[in-house]
């Protein structure tokens, strides 16, 4: 519900935190804000988690991309999910190695995800992808905390994501020229909106 709420706030031009992007603004709050409220985690613990997420995001930005226009939705929702997986792993007492494994698994699960906004708006399919990114982050963190490791190190996963993004056809990178954006219903919506 929190992921949908944030995505809808973004679509309605309300104030959001682009973490790491506006299109992916619901992933981190869906997991971290919900955990903070439900488990009454300390503010210090949550701030530490935000530093973990920011650090992971900076590595992704430097080695690959956070932008759908250059890397597809894997760069937006995928990065948000990886950042969130590491952050929630931190909140739950995971080691730095477990945080890396959580991020790597989250990124691998969403690798290749295209950016295909209908009518160029971050509403369809973007808002609901925030939910998928949040669930993916939780699953990846659970696996890492249970001792499951990523066979591919997180830096190599990030590099692979960057390579996949560069190879992705331009029609699948936020141009609304591919994917669900050009489905019959997608075109109908765009025409109705005059786009």
Using DSSP's 3-state secondary structure scheme, residue 171 falls into helix
Residue in the structure block whose two tokens are 């682009």 = 18
Residue in the structure block whose two tokens are 């991309």 = 65
Q: By the 8 A CB rule, do 35 and 91 touch?
A: yes
Domain boundaries, the chain: 2-192
Which are the contacts of 50, defined by CB distance < 8 A and separation ≥ 6? 32, 87
* Separation of CA 136 from chain center: 9
For residue 54, the model assigns a pLDDT of: 98
d(CA 127, CA 163): 25
Q: What is the pLDDT of residues 19-77, one digit of tens each?
A: 999 999 999 999 999 999 999 999 999 999 999 999 999 999 999 999 999 999 999 99
User: What's the pLDDT band for 5 if we cut at 50, 70, 90?
Assistant: very high
Helix (H) or strand (E) holding 27: helix 27-39
Q: What is the pLDDT of residues 83-137, one digit of tens each?
A: 999 999 999 999 999 999 999 999 999 999 999 999 999 899 999 999 999 999 9
d(CA 43, CA 61): 27
Whether omega for the bond prior to residue 32 falls within 30 degrees of 0, making it cis, is no
DSSP state of 52: H
For residue 195, the model assigns a pLDDT of: 86
Mean of per-residue pLDDT scores for the chain? 97
With 0-12 / 13-18 / 19 or more C-beta atoms within 10 angstroms meaning exposed / middle / buried, residue 44 is: exposed
Instruction: Kindly write down the DSSP assignment for every residue of 63-96, as one continuous string.
Output: HS-S-HHHH-HIIIIIHHHHHHHHHHHHHTT--H
Mean predicted confidence (pLDDT) in 162-179: 98
């Amino acid at each position: 519900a929190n992921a949908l709420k944030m995505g809808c706030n973004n679509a309605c031009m309300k104030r959001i935190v682009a973490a790491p992007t506006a299109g992916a603004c619901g992933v981190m709050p869906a997991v971290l804000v919900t955990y903070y409220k439900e488990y009454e985690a300390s503010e210090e613990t949550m701030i530490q988690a935000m530093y973990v997420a920011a650090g992971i995001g900076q590595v992704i930005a430097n080695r690959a991309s956070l932008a759908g226009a250059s890397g597809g939705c894997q760069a937006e929702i995928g990065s948000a999910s990886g950042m969130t997986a590491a952050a929630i792993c931190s909140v739950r007492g995971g080691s730095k190695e477990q945080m890396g494994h959580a991020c790597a698994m989250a990124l691998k699960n969403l690798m290749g995800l295209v950016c295909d906004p209908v009518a160029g708006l971050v509403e369809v399919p973007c808002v609901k992808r925030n939910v998928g990114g949040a669930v993916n982050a939780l699953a990846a963190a659970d696996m890492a905390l249970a001792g499951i490791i990523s066979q591919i190190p997180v830096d190599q996963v990030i590099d692979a994501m960057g390579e996949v993004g560069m190879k992705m056809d331009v029609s699948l990178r936020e141009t609304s020229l591919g994917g669900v954006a050009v489905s019959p219903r997608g075109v109908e919506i765009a025409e109705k909106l005059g786009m």
